[in-house]
Amino acid sequence: MQLLDGKKLATEIKLEIAEEVRKIKAAGKKIPHLVAVLVGEDGASQTYVASKVKSCEEVGFKSTLFKLKKDITENELLTKINLLNNDDSVDGFIVQLPLPKHINEEKIMLAIAPEKDVDGFHPTNVGRMTLNLPSYVSATPKGILEMLNRYNIETEGKHCVVIGRSNIVGLPMSLLMQRRSKPGNCTVTICHSKTNDLAKYTLQADIIIAALGKPKFLTADMVKKGAVVIDVGITRVVDASTKSGFKLLGDVDFEHVQKKCSYISPVPGGVGLMTVVSLLQNTLSAAKEEFYKKSMSFGLDEL
Ligand code: GUN
């Protein structure tokens, strides 16, 4: 069994990005600028956003964090987004999810200008990704592709089972694994909470991507010998023995599943760190106008 070491890969990729930033600076160009918008005080969201901001610093990006009160109105948040859409100093921005219940997340995602949507959540980016057109790709699936690529894991002709159909991970992941590219060219099965006899599918899988958010859900009896197992789960559970008072659990029963795998990603130290790096890569793409020209900005009026 080989561990898919997200920490090692993330460090490697951050060094590569830092080198690009150095060249951008040396050429006298503007350094990439990522803005993160955090609404409310959700503990997990605060941790994730802090990690994104810290990673920006590590690679030499400019970053700005806007912390907004949890009772901000939907209209106030839309106004903030409109300002960011039209702020030329900002290459890309994210609105950390989940949002408080009184705010419609779909409406918020739609308000973000596609060319600044470095999360890749806007329907324009999802649609472009689906059609294999240049676009920002949602950070977690993008990080998993990078992981498969850098570990040289063969995916062509393999059966990939994705567990979970969320807009952020399961759905884009399943589309990316089947597309005509490397990594890709898999036969893909999407399983979800309504799938009957899930083990029937996972036992046939060469690659399993577990993204359902249920700690230790995937057990050894559900995994074929030699399978590649990617764990996307990051559930916080209370643990008084740790400094923070909680620990992170993946969707995979790592201790037992690892004995059957060819490759497995751990939690923590796996996909989570790749996700942050993907966001940096998307921000760099935004700064370099790789997918969209900056002149394409539009305001709320045009939505
Ligand atoms: N909440 C959980 N994952 C993500 C993510 O990748 N981006 C944003 N904006 N919110 C999240």
- The residue nearest atom 2 of ligand 1, judged by CA position, is 97
Q: Check pocket membership of 282 for ligand 1, CB cut-off 6 A.
A: no
Give the pLDDT of residue 259: 98
3-state SS, residue 3: strand
Asked whether residue 95 carries a pLDDT value surpassing 70, the answer given is: yes
Q: Verify whether ligand 1 is closer than 6 Å to residue 139 (CB atom).
A: yes
- Structure confidence by residue, pLDDT tens digits, 199-208: 999 999 999 9
> How would you write 56-119 as a 3-class SS string?
HHHHCCEEEEEEECCCCCHHHHHHHHHHHHCCCCCCEEEECCCCCCCCCHHHHHHHCCHHHECC
User: Is the pLDDT confidence value at 297 over 60?
Assistant: no
Share of the chain above pLDDT 90, in %: 96
The predicted model gives 241-259 an average pLDDT of: 95
Tokens matching residue 257: 């599943």
Mean pLDDT of 239-261: 95
What separation in Å is there between the alpha carbon of 169 and the centre of ligand 1? 10
Any atom of ligand 1 within 6 Å of the Cβ of 199: no
Position 301 pLDDT exceeds 60: no
pTM (2 decimals)? 0.95
Identify the pLDDT of residue 293: 85
Helices (H), the chain: 6-26, 43-59, 74-85, 105-111, 123-130, 139-150, 170-178, 198-202, 254-257, 271-287
Q: Which top CATH class is 21-114?
A: alpha beta
Q: Is 207 in the pocket of ligand 1 (CB under 6 A)?
A: no
Distance 65 CA to ligand 1 centre (A): 14
Answer yes or no: is pLDDT of 295 > 70. Answer: no
Instruction: Provide the pLDDT for residue 296.
Output: 56
Q: Is the pLDDT of residue 302 over 60?
A: no
Token pair 């993204």 in the structure block, residue: 211
- The CATH number of domain 139-271, selected from 3.40.50.10860, 3.40.50.720, 3.10.180.10, 3.90.78.10: 3.40.50.720
What is the per-residue pLDDT for 299?
45
pLDDT for 294: 74
State the average pLDDT over residues 104-109: 98
pLDDT digits (tens, 9 = 90+) for 143-194: 999 999 999 999 999 999 999 999 999 999 999 999 999 999 999 999 999 9
Residue 60 CA to residue 20 CA, distance in Å, equals: 10
| Whether residue 114 has a cis bond before it, omega within 30° of 0 | no
Task: Quick: pLDDT tens for 63-82.
Answer: 999 999 999 999 999 999 99
- Please tell me the predicted confidence (pLDDT) of residue 77: 98
Nearest CA to ligand 1 atom 3: 97
Mean of per-residue pLDDT scores for the chain: 96
Number of the ligand 1 atom closest to the C-alpha atom of 95: 9
Q: Whose CA is nearest to atom 11 of ligand 1?
A: 97
Residue 211 CA to residue 297 CA, distance in Å, equals 34
Atom of ligand 1 nearest to the CA of 97: 10
Q: Which residues are catalytic?
A: 52, 96, 119
96 C-alpha to ligand 1 centroid (Å): 5
Q: Same fold for the domain at 21-114 and the one at 139-271?
A: yes
Domain limits, the chain: 21-114, 139-271
CA of 57 to the centre of ligand 1 (A): 19
